[in-house]
Structure 1
């Protein structure tokens, strides 16, 4: 009788007293321990003797992937090749290093399945910081103690990043194990809670005075106009950085006074509409007058400012102000908090942030509350510019 995900889920991790082996098709089956540990295996005969290959454990290896792997093994068998050579071919070498594993994971998963922003995140963290760990050493020979010494050194540099690196590395190594690129790795025995600390949940809310100081610092900086306009609009709109950074001229309707963010630029993958209100309209017009289709170009007039360039600019601004720790994303929290203090209702501030409304409202209520958004944005901008005027005299 063929296996099913429903059957495997009902067995996995629970006391089991049934048959120790259950067959599927084409030689695929599972071996089940009394504790409900489910292991896929491929059975065949070679040179007249029965053979059994362990493929991986469920659910790390899904039934769908196990069947796909079995099909590849069956092709080898039917072609007169011992299926065991499949795994030797996948490894491709007797020594597999950390760099080899990360490169394999990047080539077969990160570059194939992930979005550009997620790929960039991995490239700037685990790929950058871990690919050269333990050079020329077989990954199977690296001990838990060696890994802990490595992550202890990372902790001294940045505790939060150390935990992030371990979590990401475990994901990469687990991918390699599931794909039979390596058999095992001792880093999987280290729990993320044993290294570093959790990233702090953001709770920074800027005051109007701090926002005014930031506005003036941006105005007085010697950065490119596109970078200055980018961050001023992000501050006033409370938009995600990339929603503004990737914006194109066609998104802005100065007749209807509406900015339409396409779903490709929005984290929720839905079209957003925000009002072009009184105080931000001159900034939009300036960007449209100065640049072409790309509203906020970087080094090339045809490509947007990169996230790295935008972050570097904000880091320089931050270093000159002395108002404590903050980041661009805190503009969103600040906008909602300050407008909530003024009595602006939550459904309006949620739309301003580009969030989906909860419950059945997300299904049936497609209203944008553009006029209410416009009034709230103008109230918020008035407060900021009053403090700008006060500081600048």
Structure 2
């Protein structure tokens, strides 16, 4: 397939099968697109009577402009009688990772830290450490399908969801190694999922919500306020925990989540309801001089993190089984539906692309962020939550006043 590659095309192109697209404006340069979404540039040339391919690098770490510059350099090498792939292979044979531990280190450096958003990296690294713990000294070339299946089955027995996530990362790591020609081994290729993820009942009744709120109030600050804000706003834990005071527009009562922090890779504006303002006003006295709203007491200058023990404590106090912090987001969505708030507006509040029906919204609505509808929805939920908990009215917005 041939096409005049552009930045916009390279960014959006996708394919259900692996394809190669040759750039008509730069001879020999091509873009490889995998079903997983991974994209990379390579240079095709003839040397010694054979057609060879030299991988330039993955996109977007390597831009189209950089790939074209590199293609020009490679063309000069070939015309000078040098074989770029031969030299690369010689270096790879010398420097290629020999163990899973070495491969994991390289994968973390070259893929996780370069390709993924900071908000996603921690979960990847945590699961990568599970792989390291088990396979660190195993040979990259000798890990078998059986080794992997036994490892994943042990995780799936207790944590099916986690088993699937670990499997996905393990497979991506081997795909990375295969793509970079470090090994021909790929023991996870076309391996079925090991964890059957059961649908959880996330239906919480008013009494459960009251118990949750009371359990939250036994937590120390700023953890208490963080968890309360999850229930008040319905936002994601990662985005909320990294909230900065600079992200809050006190004049208009808005929380503006930067593009780099959101799952959808776009700015998300959250109107602050009376109850959200009440929580932030109190917390401002504690962390108002810090960058992060939920500044960690243990690591000053860093946001709160690691919430497993928090979930366990709340679950025990509230006498709820299998409680997860993500359930607070479900509570908000469910109750907004009960309050007869439009499904699209709930999606806009939660920044959930599917619920917000963005795949059918026409271009004339692109600049309209449903701010009034989001504010109305969050205030209705704030009033209802206040009624469920105590019936008291919220205070006036005076952060830093």
Structure 1 and Structure 2 fold alike (TM over 0.5): yes
**Structure 2 residue 237 is matched with structure 1 residue 246:** no
* CA RMSD, Structure 1 to Structure 2 (Å): 4.0
How far the C-alpha of 1:210 sits from its partner, in A, is: 0.7
**Deviation of the 1:363 alpha carbon:** 1.7
Alignment of 1:129-168 (within 5 A): 129-168=130-169
Counterpart position of 1:235: 231
User: Could you say which structure has the larger radius of gyration?
Assistant: 1
Deviation of 1:288 after TM superposition, in Å, equals 1.2
Indicate the residue corresponding to 1:344 in structure 2.
341
Q: SS at the partner of 2:377?
A: helix
Q: Distance in 1 between matches of 2:379 and 2:135?
A: 58
SS at match of 1:187: coil
Q: CA deviation at 1:354?
A: 3.7
- The 3-state SS of whatever aligns with 1:140 is coil
Cα distance in 1 between the residues matched to 2:29 and 2:213: 68
2: distance between equivalents of 1:328 and 1:178? 37
**Structure 2 residue aligned with 1:35:** none
Can you give the 5+ residue segments of structure 1 that lack an aligned partner in the other structure? 15-23, 31-38, 389-393
- What CA distance in whole angstroms lies between the structure 2 residues aligned with 1:301 and 1:363? 40
Q: Which runs of 5+ in 2 are unaligned?
A: 6-13, 20-25, 33-41, 393-401
- Preserved contact between residue 274 and residue 373 of structure 1 (Cα < 8 Å): no
**Aligned pair in 2 of structure 1 residues 185, 342: CA closer, same or farther (>3 Å)?**
same
* Aligned: 1:366 with 2:369: yes
The answer on whether the counterparts of 1:297 and 1:305 sit within 8 Å (CA) in structure 2 is yes
Maintained 8 Å contact 1:98/1:133: no
1:312 corresponds to 2:309: yes
Residues 101 and 259 (structure 1), Cα distance of their counterparts in 2 relative to 1, 3 Å cut: closer
Shift of 1:300: 5.4
So what's the TM-score if we normalise by structure 2? 0.72
Equivalences for residues 196-345 of structure 1 within 5 A: 196-200=194-198, 203-219=201-217, 221=218, 223-253=219-249, 256-268=252-264, 269-277=266-274, 279-291=275-287, 292-293=289-290, 294-299=292-297, 302-308=300-306, 310-345=307-342
Correspondent of 1:378 among 366, 370, 382: 382
Instruction: State the shift of 1:41 in Å.
Output: 6.1
Whose helix fraction is larger, Structure 1's or Structure 2's?
1
Count of matched residue positions in the alignment of Structure 1 and Structure 2: 350
Is residue 118 of structure 2 the alignment partner of residue 116 of structure 1? yes
1:176-191 counterparts in 2 under 5 A?
Answer: 176-182=177-183, 184-189=184-189, 191=190
**2:167 is equivalent to residue 170 of structure 1:** no
Indicate if the aligned counterparts of 2:346 and 2:377 stay in contact, CA closer than 8 A: yes
Q: Which moved more, 1:154-163 or 1:376-385?
A: 154-163
Secondary structure at the counterpart of residue 90 of structure 1: helix
